[in-house]
Chain A
Amino acid sequence: MKYIYYPGCSLKSTGRPYEESLLAVFKELQIPMEELHDWNCCGATSYMSVDELKAFGLAARNLALAESQNGINGNGDPDVHIVAPCSACYLVLIKTERYLKEYKNERKAVIKGLKTIGLDYNGKAVIRHPVDVLFNDIGLESIAKHIKKPLKGIKVASYYGCQMIRPFELFDPVHYPVTLDLLVDKLGATPLDWPLKTRCCGGSLTGTLHEAGMRLNYRLLSEAKKRGADMIITTCPLCQFNLECYQDRISSYTGKKIEMPILYFTQLVGLALGIPEKKLGIHRSFIRFPNFQALEMEV
């Protein structure tokens, strides 16, 4: 089975390190994956705010494309797995799938629309998050076999964010998710237990309602710092951006110096697998973890 990779717009710009590290890690673990040809924007939260049916139609185009790319048009091979690393895309695609399943009339309208551009949708595509794939399909044990540099002595706070685990409980409990912590533990680092794992980072509020967004991020960062985290790992390009890029501003607002490296979880996995920093896009982060070089030396 080949996974179909749906990058989404963020992974092509601000989230570039995520894409680089994700592809590198999947390659290292020999997980076959190819990019969805000619994918379009999933519509994110903004599209949903403008027009419901169109938002779902837009996202459904990707699902239909994925099905045709896997060559199942019509004869029902259930193995279309779309990997959507951005949490917002992930949720939008899942919601679209459910919407088309639950609302029959709207489904008809969307499918008719898709037919006008020569696509068909059967409802076979399954949407997966890379955390889900690594944890459930590949398994921690087989990841452990590939580890070259255990990340000893780093305290990692896993930040799950909102849309990967809410509102649907797909692979992790909504109130106390654990997958990332187990993964961190397997990589040799120390997972940090903290209460704000799934607290909102504000999403696009940091751009539109600046103060509110800054406040939410300040809470996350200061809590992680208070508990002695060396870094925070995220699963979503928007969370990573919010937590990382506004740190200097938050420091100047509050008068407290906050310097917390924010990595994508794939970057952390990549480091443990011994993939060079450059390939993981770590040189693109604003705040660097001081000991990465030391980790490299350890081998």
Chain B
Amino acid sequence: MTFSFLRTRKWKYQKPSRIEQDKTVRRRIKYESELDIGFREKIAKMAWGERLDSCMQCGTCSATCPVSHYMDYTPRRIIDMVRQGFKEEVLNSFTLWVCASCYSCTVECPRGIKITDVMYALKREAIKQGFHPKRFLIPMLASKFYKQVLRHGRQNEGRLILSLYLSANPLLLLRNSKLAFRLWRRGRMKLFEKGIRNKASIRKLLSSIERREEEPVQ
């Protein structure tokens, strides 16, 4: 019996900091001046981030998280690093992309911190500021999804996965072709599907919301 897939693999992702690239002796701690103090406030201002400050570092979130053993920083550490202003480390972290949005941490946190929503806020920041590694599937899926819905109003799982794998790693297509075929045989996969009738309305709605975001809403 081989449990090869149960072993944690070395993931290909950008190292937390570029500092370590040359082999000279380096300090591992950050000085106050290198931290981004405004980071905490920025994240706390996003949806349901308000209670960030009340974390008592109990670690309940990391304990309940079903995927914490795949993360480089556990949810508890992420929360504290956000508070302390370790912006680069947090946004470069693999944790954001492993989070499956299962809300276990959110319901268990004794301080009522909405950790899942903080993770969402961090994902948005990382995508916006271009922090995620190239050809890494999870953020790519998010932006492909985004574009497809903008164009059609609905998404189509078959086409979404097809375009994702095509641009990331065509080998994955090969691996999943049997599955796709089985789905298709049972009428559970369509590559072409009409979107909504009023496609222009989606674009209009989203662009009008976008414009307003620039100027502060009073």
Residues of A with Cβ closer than 8 Å to B? 9-10, 12-17, 38-41, 43-54, 57-58, 61, 99, 103, 105-106, 108-110, 112-114, 116-117, 162-163, 166-167, 174-175, 199-200, 202-205, 207-209, 211-212, 214-216, 245-246, 253-256, 283-286
Contact = CB atoms under 8 A, between A and B. Distances in A.
Interface in B202-218: 202, 204-206, 208-210, 212-213, 217-218
Contact of B155 (A9, A39, A52, A166): A9
Contacts of A285: 186
Interface string B1-34: 1111110010000000000000000000000000
Contacts, number: 191
Contacts of A54: 206, 209-210
Contacts of B212: 109, 112-113
A106 B153 CA distance: 22
A65 B116 CA distance: 28
B162 to A, nearest CB: 11
A163 B103 contact: yes
Interface string B188-199: 111001001110
A28 to B, nearest CB: 22
Interface residues of B, number: 69
A162 B193 contact: no
A15 B157 CA distance: 10
B146 A245 contact: no
Contacts of B97: 208-209
Nearest to A204: B141
Contact of A112 (B9, B201, B208): B208
B46 interface: yes
Given A54-B206, A163-B102, A166-B103, 9 more contacts: A40-B154, A43-B149, A50-B143, A99-B47, A108-B217, A113-B205, A162-B100, A245-B183, A256-B1
